[in-house]
Each structure stands twice: as C-alpha cells, then as structure tokens.
Amino acid sequence: GAVVSQHPSRVICKSGTSVKIECRSLDFQATTMFWYRQFPKQSLMLMATSNEGSKATYEQGVEKDKFLINHASLTLSTLTVTSAHPEDSSFYICSASTSDYNEQFFGPGTRLTVL
Amino acid sequence: GQNIDQPTEMTATEGAIVQINCTYQTSGFNGLFWYQQHAGEAPTFLSYNVLDGLEEKGRFSSFLSRSKGYSYLLLKELQMKDSASYLCAGMDSNYQLIWGAGTKLIIKP
C-alpha cells in the first residue's frame, strides 16, 4: 500500500513555457503533500507543504508565483512551474503523508529539463 | 538552527557490514528517518525511530540516541544493489523533515 504516482516522469520544455506536474496518492488519502526539488548530488530541498483545500506554505526563497501549487483533493496535488527557465531544470519529487506524519511516501519524481 | 550531518561517501565490500552515522539538531523532535535513494530515483523509506534503541528490519537496522542527537543505519550482508545514497532526516516539532545531504555508499566486489 501507500503508493504515490507522479506524472510526467520526464519533461523537456522550451524556456518561457509552463509545466504542470501531478502527484497522486493512489491507495490512501493524503492529508499533507510535500514538493521537493533535488539538484544533482544534493539532498532534497523542500519547496512547499500543502494541505488539502488550503493554500500551500512555501519555504523561504521559493517564489510562490512561479511555483504554483494546487492541492485540490486528498489524493491530488499539482505543481506548475510557470515561465520555466534553464535554471529550473531539476528533479522534482512529491511526497504524501497521512495525519499521523510517521512516514512520507514519495512519488517516483519528475525530471524537468528546460532548454 | 536545524542541521543534519552525515558522511558524504563511504565504501564497503560485498558481504560485509557498514554503519552510516548521522547527527541531528532539530527544533523539537518527532522522529528520525532513513531513506535509500538510487541514482535518478526518488527516496524509498527504510526506517523510523522515535524512541532510543535499535530497530531491526532484515539486513537493515537503525539506532537512535535522543540524548546524543545521534542515529546510525547498519547494513549487513552487503549486496551490490545496496549501492545508493542513504538519507538521514529528522522530523521537527512542526512535523517537517530536515534532510541531510545523504551518504553515497559504494559497494565493491
């Protein structure tokens, strides 16, 4: 159990375009979803935390107008990278947790390349 | 501030035992996690400790000492597939995970 999917797994886009990444909890209801970014050979960097039906809480230094997060239901959260630039190229990973917070279940990640 | 320290890289031999250490400083404490991450993939959960002591799960064990702010992950009977990065993460009082930079484990035949 506790499966989280992410779509797409890979995306290549042109600079200036927007990209939407979906994160779904397939067999449980996720009270909270987390969006991370990971650059090569670095650890996970938390971008934002979102709870269903409320606005996401962004970490310091993360532009909320550039990285739009929508947590529409207990099983779906989306991250939209608006006006993407080459420096936004990274591995984006979502995770989901239930109300007891004991574990975060990770999606398989999305590799974004902005040309 | 909050901080997680773990070695950058370790090398071990197939069939041997390796211990990966982690020290943590968090604002409040709600547990210590270990994740395994293969290159190009998302992390997968290995263990969670919130009380002092050793938790054993097959070839992997995890230890916690809250008074020392210290944990380790012990891997026995190493296999080539264990080559990966191992991420230590502490959960603070807000239930946020504070991540270490990861320890890259290289297994040699």
Question: What pLDDT, on the 0 to 100 scale, is given for residue A42?
Answer: 81
Q: Give pLDDT tens digits for B44-66.
A: 889 999 999 999 989 999 999 99
Question: CA quadruple A7, B46, A33, A69: dihedral positive or negative?
Answer: negative
Q: Give pLDDT tens digits for A7-26.
A: 999 999 999 999 999 999 99
CA A94 vs CA A43, A97, B57, B72, B101: distances in Å: 14, 10, 26, 26, 18
* Residue A102 predicted with pLDDT over 70: no
Percentage of chain B lying above the pLDDT 90 cut: 83
* Residue B76 predicted with pLDDT over 90: yes
Check A109 against B101: CB less than 8 A apart.
no
* Residue A47 predicted with pLDDT over 70: yes
Strand locations in chain A (E)? 4-7, 10-13, 19-25, 32-38, 45-51, 57-58, 67-73, 76-81, 90-97, 105-106, 110-114
Query: Which of B45, B100, B101 faces A103 most closely, judged by CB atoms?
Result: B45
Contact B95, B30 (CB under 8 A): yes
Contact A107, A26 (CB under 8 A): no
Residue at A24: amino acid letter: R
Question: What pLDDT, on the 0 to 100 scale, is given for residue B41?
Answer: 87
Residues of B whose CB is below 8 A from A91:
40
* Residue B7 predicted with pLDDT over 70: yes
Q: What is the mean pLDDT of residues B3-29?
A: 96
Closest-CA residue to A95 (of A42, A61, A46): A46
Question: What pLDDT, on the 0 to 100 scale, is given for residue A100?
Answer: 62
More confident residue, B77 or A104: B77
Check B95 against A101: CB less than 8 A apart.
yes
Check A93 against B43: CB less than 8 A apart.
yes
pLDDT band at B97 (very low <50, low <70, confident <90, very high): confident
Please list the residues that pair with A18 across neighbouring strands: none
Question: What pLDDT, on the 0 to 100 scale, is given for residue A41?
Answer: 77
Check B48 against A104: CB less than 8 A apart.
no
Pull the structure tokens for residue A4: 């989280």
Query: Which of A42, A102, A109 faces B101 most closely, judged by CB atoms?
Result: A42
Contact B73, B60 (CB under 8 A): yes
Q: Tell me how many degrees the CA angle A103-B91-A96 measures, rounded to the nearest 5.
A: 35
Question: What pLDDT, on the 0 to 100 scale, is given for residue A101?
Answer: 59
Question: In chain B, whose CA is at the least distance from the CA of A100?
Answer: B95
The distance from CA A54 to its chain's CA centroid, rounded to whole angstroms, is 16
Residue at B109: amino acid letter: P
